[in-house]
């Protein structure tokens, strides 16, 4: 059905090994033309499935490299086609030469993501599983990796299949009533099937509720560290990073530009942004830094508002605090190692608060725990294998399906004809089928797989 494809599957450049991959009906024939086993008494035709074989790659009489070759026979391969992986010495030139010789003897160069696309088209994986492979490659934290693996293992597919089964039971009954009126089925939709609609609706709504959490885990949390000058913002950045990343002095206004660093807290990724201290100033350069601070504040997913326990709360400081979104703000009360002067009554109970000493590194574990629980709205001990939606395409398809179910329920309650119910039910089922790729179009497939590298 498809031509035999080939590609380099490891990053270009110098390295210990490189891998050239071949997939298709002619994979073994191409290998026979270019590969000679170290043990001359053996034949490529007799190599065992899933075996690793030592030998040499030749272009005619010219030796190219000493290699190991993996043999994988269909259908139990990634693409469900015959596959060969040539493990050669790393380096741009040697992998390129082996790629060229595979093309010379019958393969064509694979397009971006074509190996994974064939795995989907040949029924090896569903479409959302294919997408999860790319998500896994780009994972930036333990939690995002766990979510990608969960999808790759088919947990989302299983859930979608469960919902579809409930809806298929309903549409099957409706079609029987419409197509075979002579059967005398008086009840358009029995109570148990009406309950199916409710179960399906609730399941989809539950999946959609996970989208914001899944998106945060996948993309990371943009975290702005803000406050007045000299409250300890840079010290807190350094303490969380466990390294001296930002300059810390007793002079107010030391930080004049934003500093960005990434850290992991309990499996989630945070992009920490240390900002310039917010205050009135005549210094043009410092004001530019403050302007950047305000931009970072507006776009942040999480705000760590730092206050100094060793001094009184200032009026403009209080005004800035009151302007913040409570749902994404943590008040970090720093310098607990010094004498207390701050009137804690001025910080309202509605805010989440943590007391720390950045210099002595006290309270950092509680700060990390509070960050995790505010962002994900769950305890650290919560299970990490729950199904989370983090793909906008999946979210859109689920919303389409949910709309179809709601329209079915409205059609039934208004006593409209069964033909309309069947149309809305089909829309609901089609929305679910779009997620797994049972219904799709070439443009969507091209858009998904062009994000992959060549060789994957």
Could you tell me which residue, 14 or 114, shows the higher pLDDT?
114
Give residue 248's pLDDT band: very low, low, confident or very high (50, 70, 90).
very low
Same fold, 142-210+389-437 and 220-376: no
Q: Considering only the top CATH level, what class is 5-125?
A: alpha beta
What's the average model confidence in pLDDT over 331-349?
82
What's the average model confidence in pLDDT over 396-417?
89
For the segment 176-219, what is each residue's pLDDT rounded down to a tens digit? Answer: 777 666 555 555 677 788 888 999 999 999 999 999 888 888 88
Return the structure tokens found at 308.
């100094």
For the segment 132-177, what is each residue's pLDDT rounded down to a tens digit? Answer: 888 888 887 777 888 888 888 889 999 999 999 999 988 887 877 7
Could you tell me which residue, 312 or 66, shows the higher pLDDT?
66
Among 360, 145, 371, 354, CA closest to 266 = 371
- Domain formed by 220-376, architecture: 3-Layer(aba) Sandwich (3.40)
d(C-alpha 313, C-alpha 297), whole Å: 20
For the segment 270-301, what is each residue's pLDDT rounded down to a tens digit? Answer: 888 877 656 555 555 555 666 666 676 777 88
Considering only 10-19, 58-67, 139-148, 367-376, which range has the smallest mean pLDDT? 139-148
Fold entry, domain 142-210+389-437? 1.20.120
Percentage of residues in the chain having pLDDT higher than 70: 87
Rounded to 10 degrees, the C-alpha dihedral 380/383/384/386 comes to: -130
For the segment 347-381, what is each residue's pLDDT rounded down to a tens digit? Answer: 777 888 899 998 888 999 999 999 888 888 776 55
Residue 281 confidence (pLDDT): 54
Considering only 15-24, 194-203, 249-258, 344-353, which range has the smallest mean pLDDT? 249-258
So where are the chain's domains?
5-125, 142-210+389-437, 220-376
Name the average pLDDT for the chain.
Answer: 84
DSSP 390-445: --HHHHHHHHHHHHHHHHHHHHHHTT--HHHHHHHHHHHHHHHHHHHTSS--HHHH
Give residue 247's pLDDT band: very low, low, confident or very high (50, 70, 90).
very low
Give residue 252's pLDDT band: very low, low, confident or very high (50, 70, 90).
very low
pTM score, two decimals? Answer: 0.78
């Amino acid at each position: 059905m498809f031509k035999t494809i080939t590609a380099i599957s490891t990053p270009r450049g110098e390295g210990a090994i490189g891998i050239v991959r071949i997939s298709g009906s002619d994979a073994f024939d191409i290998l026979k033309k270019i590969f000679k086993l170290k043990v001359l008494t053996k034949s490529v035709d007799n190599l065992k499935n899933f075996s690793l074989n030592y030998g040499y790659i030749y272009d005619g009489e010219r030796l190219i490299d000493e290699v190991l070759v993996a043999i994988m026979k269909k259908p139990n391969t990634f693409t469900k086609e015959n596959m060969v992986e040539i493990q050669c010495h790393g380096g741009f030139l040697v992998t390129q030469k082996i790629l060229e010789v595979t093309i010379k003897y019958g393969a064509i160069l694979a397009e971006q993501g074509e190996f994974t696309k064939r795995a989907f088209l040949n029924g090896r994986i569903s479409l959302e599983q294919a997408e999860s492979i790319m998500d896994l490659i780009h994972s930036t934290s333990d939690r995002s990796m766990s979510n990608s693996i969960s999808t790759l293992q088919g947990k989302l597919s299983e859930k979608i299949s469960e919902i579809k089964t409930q809806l298929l039971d309903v549409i099957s009954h409706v079609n029987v009533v419409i197509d075979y009126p002579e059967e005398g089925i008086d009840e358009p939709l029995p109570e148990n099937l009406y309950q199916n609609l409710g179960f399906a609706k609730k399941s989809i709504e539950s999946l959609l509720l996970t989208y914001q959490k899944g998106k945060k885990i996948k993309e990371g949390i943009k975290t702005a560290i803000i406050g007045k000058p000299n409250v300890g913002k840079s010290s807190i950045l350094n303490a969380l990073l466990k390294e001296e990343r930002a300059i810390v002095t007793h002079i107010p206004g030391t930080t004049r530009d934003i500093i960005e660093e990434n850290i992991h807290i309990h499996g989630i990724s945070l992009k920490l942004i240390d900002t310039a201290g917010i205050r009135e100033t005549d210094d043009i350069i410092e004001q530019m830094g403050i302007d950047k601070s305000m931009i970072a504040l507006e776009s942040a997913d999480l705000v760590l508002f730092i206050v100094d326990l060793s001094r009184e709360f200032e009026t403009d400081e209080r005004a800035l605090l009151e302007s913040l979104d409570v749902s994404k703000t943590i008040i970090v009360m720093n310098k607990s190692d010094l004498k207390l002067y701050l009137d804690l009554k001025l910080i309202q109970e509605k805010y989440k608060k943590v007391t720390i000493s950045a210099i002595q590194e006290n309270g950092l574990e509680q700060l990390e725990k509070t960050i995790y629980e505010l962002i994900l709205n769950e305890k650290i001990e919560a299970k990490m294998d729950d199904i989370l939606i983090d793909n906008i395409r999946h979210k859109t398809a689920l919303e389409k399906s949910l709309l179809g179910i709601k329209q079915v329920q409205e059609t039934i309650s208004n006593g409209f004809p069964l033909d309309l119910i069947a149309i809305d039910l089909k829309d609901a089922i089609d929305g679910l089928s779009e997620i797994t790729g049972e219904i799709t179009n070439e443009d969507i497939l091209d858009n998904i797989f062009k994000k992959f590298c060549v060789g994957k």
